[in-house]
Structure 1
Amino acid sequence: MMHEFTLRVYYEDTDLAGIVYYANYLKFIERGRSEWVRARGVDQGRLRTEAGIVFAVRRVEADYLRPAVFDDALVVTTALVELGGARIVLDQAVMRGDQRLFEARVTLVCLGPTGAVRMPAEVRAALS
């Protein structure tokens, strides 16, 4: 199931060439991931406070396909590829209408105070 998060490109998102600065796509997909988790009923703040667990990016494979520019309306899509005991693999894209501007495969790991830990069963069930 695909999740969608909409955003608009602001002047602050662009570089001297007037296009979205490459690192900002990572911020855009971070927002999309956060909203994907929230839409599934997982409160990341509570998870951190009560269980000491957070999600951290372990790997990103990204392709920049077309530039976005000031005032573009964009949609960040997020789709689950794989859900393991301690890791999540997602496919994400930044779209302008039907044009794919950016795509990434993101691997997240579930971390506790001493390193990687298995996700609680209720979190895993919510995300699957």
Structure 2
Amino acid sequence: MTHSFPLRVYYEDTDLAGIVYYANYLKFIERARTEYVRGLGIDQTALKRDEGLVFAVRRVEADYLAPAKFDDELVVLTTLDAVTGARIVMKQEVTRAGTVLFSALVTLVCLTETGHAARLPANIRLILH
């Protein structure tokens, strides 16, 4: 299953050259991951409140392939790549009119509120499988 998250490039997203500032792609894919997880029925606020667990990015492998510019209509595509007892790996692509501009492989881990590693709750592993 691929989740699709549309967005538009605003002036604030660009640098002096008028292209999307490289770090903003990380913000774009973060928003898309949040909506993907929400769409699966995973309530991250409840997970923190009830179980004291949060998701954190452990690793990002990113490729910048082509620039996005002011007013571009983009789509972030998110697919689940792998799930283990303690990790979630997602592939994300930022596209414009079907052309991939940015690609990333993102590894998420589950942490306690004190920052210690934790296993993914069984109900979340079940949703993701």
Same fold (TM over 0.5): yes
2:22 is matched with 22
1:56 is matched with 56
**1:1-128 map, 5 Å:** 1-114=1-114, 115-128=116-129
Q: For 1:7 and 1:98, how far apart are their aligned partners in 2?
A: 14
Unaligned runs of 5+ in 2: none
Is the 8 Å Cα contact of residues 62 and 102 (structure 2) preserved in structure 1?
Answer: yes
Question: Normalized against structure 2, the TM-score is what?
Answer: 0.97
Identity %: 65
Q: For 2:50 and 2:125, how far apart are their aligned partners in 1?
A: 16
How far 1:116 sits from its partner (Å)?
0.9
How far 1:124 sits from its partner (Å)?
1.2
How far 1:126 sits from its partner (Å)?
1.4
- Kindly report structure 1 stretches of 4+ aligned residues shifted beyond 4 Å: none
Question: Normalized against structure 1, the TM-score is what?
Answer: 0.97
Q: For 2:98 and 2:109, how far apart are their aligned partners in 1?
A: 31
Structure 1 counterpart SS, 2:88: strand
Q: For 1:24 and 1:18, how far apart are their aligned partners in 2?
A: 13
Is the 8 Å Cα contact of residues 37 and 127 (structure 1) preserved in structure 2?
Answer: no
Q: For 1:98 and 1:42, how far apart are their aligned partners in 2?
A: 29
Q: Which amino acid aligns with 1:121?
A: A
Is the 8 Å Cα contact of residues 92 and 105 (structure 1) preserved in structure 2?
Answer: yes
Structure 2 counterpart SS, 1:22: coil
Q: For 1:125 and 1:6, how far apart are their aligned partners in 2?
A: 27
How far 1:125 sits from its partner (Å)?
1.2
Task: Compute the RMSD of aligned alpha carbons.
Answer: 0.8
Q: Which amino acid aligns with 2:119?
A: R
Q: For 2:70 and 2:32, how far apart are their aligned partners in 1?
A: 19
How far 1:113 sits from its partner (Å)?
3.3
Q: Give the number of equivalent residue pairs.
A: 128
Q: Which amino acid aligns with 2:7?
A: L
